[in-house]
Amino acid sequence: MINSEEPIVTKVARNLVSLVKEIRTQIVNNLKVNPDYLIPVDKEIIHKTATQLSQRFNAGEFKVIIKRIDILLGNANSIPG
């Protein structure tokens, strides 16, 4: 018997793409800025200061997440490398 249901990984990826697009739309519409990056991370990862977050970003800590989001979105940065 063949299971024709969509794999859970595909559902999660599709939901993540929809969520990222909706968040970007809300930011652009409400704040009138278009962020370079939207990085989905656990709340505990975000520090209370922008300096710490900026240092972690500049150190490449979020590079893998950014690459995965780029590939899922199929944007200009999505060439796997």
Residue range 54-63: average pLDDT? 92
Distance of CA 6 to the CA centre of its chain: 22
Confidence of residue 79 (pLDDT cuts 50, 70, 90): low
Q: In angstroms, rounded to a whole number, what is the distance separating the alpha carbons of residues 71 and 69?
A: 5
Confidence of residue 1 (pLDDT cuts 50, 70, 90): very low
Q: In angstroms, rounded to a whole number, what is the distance separating the alpha carbons of residues 32 and 48?
A: 24
Those residues whose C-beta lies under 8 Å from the C-beta of residue 47, and which sit 6 or more positions away, are 53, 56
| Residue 63 pLDDT | 94
* Residue 64 · residue 57 · CB < 8 Å: no
Those residues whose C-beta lies under 8 Å from the C-beta of residue 16, and which sit 6 or more positions away, are 40, 69, 72
